[in-house]
A = this chain, B = another copy of it.
Amino acid sequence: MMRSTSSFMARLLEVARDVETTLEGLLSDEARSGEIARPSRLMKALRHAALGGGKRLRPFLTVEVARLLGQDAPGALRTGCAVELLHCYSLVHDDLPSMDDDDLRRGRPTVHKAFDDATAILAGDALQTLAFEILADPATDPDPAIRADLVLRLARASGLGGMVGGQMLDLAAEGRYGEVRADQAGIRRLQAMKTGAILAFSVEAGAVLARAEGPEFANLSAYGQALGAAFQIADDILDREASAEVMGKRTGKDQQKGKATLVDLLGMEEARRECARLVEQADSAVAPFGDKAEILRQAVRFVVERET
């Protein structure tokens, strides 16, 4: 039995609502064990950065992969929230004037616009810390080996050789540190680091929580890789085509900054074909799970067909 797209959207919204509730709890003013006090300006900035927006695609992937494997524990939701906070930290820092210099995010002022640069830097820093704190907390999983594994994987996906390293390459791709030759291999590596690694983590985290091993783990991991790659090409296509009004953020940025994207190198038609191939790759990776994986097949289609 195939689920319909509308039941996919219903499930996406349901997880997004659960994520919002969980994040509200995590971002309260009240200090926790091991903390002295939480400064209210900082907490306001964190809530501005993390609440009330976004499709919550990363937590959705973690929750749905865990569910597919029969793991319906709250740990997947907490882990998904940790990834979401990490994602939000990267947005807050990337939006800063010295980075991508964006005033608008999800249709609202960016954190440094709503507050100030110093508060935005600290808010991003604290969001990153909180992501690791959540993963290491026994409430996420009773087994410390699982928690330590999640911390290690998220750190590798988001650090020097992952998200942050990818953002460094992305700034360099604008030519601000000297001329760079943009070839396909370089752009693909940049994208795999900047966005792919965290999306792949979101999928793997669900598998880790559900104690998946061997081919089961490898298949889900391959699904995450394909989805991550599809996401970024779709992003390049959207950046070229969509209006700022629909996106809730500035578009056409890459062209303005003279940054080459895969759309430039491949052409729009071939970029779309590559998206389609990646969707097939994702499908075949989860084929062994049968009908149970229908929601993951819907997810990768959602990623390439979304309009924001």
Contacts and interface: CB of A to CB of B under 8 A. Distances in A.
A99 B124 CA distance: 14
A118 B98 contact: yes
A4 interface: no
Given A98-B117, A144-B145, A165 B41 contact: no
Interface in A137-160: 137-138, 143-145, 147-149, 151-153, 155-160
A36 B118 contact: no
A155 B26 CA distance: 14
Interface stretch (A27-35, A232-240, A294-302): A27-35
Contact of A153 (B34, B98, B171, B193): B34
A159 B116 CA distance: 19
A73 to B, nearest CB: 17
Contact of A132 (B43, B93, B132): B132
A121 B119 contact: no
Q: DSSP class of A's interface residues: helix, strand, loop or mixed?
A: helix
A109 interface: no
A261 to B, nearest CB: 18
A155 B37 CA distance: 14
A172 to B, nearest CB: 7
A129 B160 contact: yes
Given A125-B128, A129-B158, A137-B152, 14 more contacts: A33-B156, A34-B156, A36-B161, A37-B189, A38-B160, A41-B177, A46-B160, A118-B176, A122-B168, A129-B159, A144-B147, A144-B148, A147-B151, A148-B151
17 contacts: A31-B160, A31-B161, A34-B161, A36-B162, A36-B189, A39-B165, A39-B169, A42-B164, A42-B165, A43-B160, A99-B121, A116-B176, A121-B121, A122-B168, A129-B159, A133-B159, A151-B151
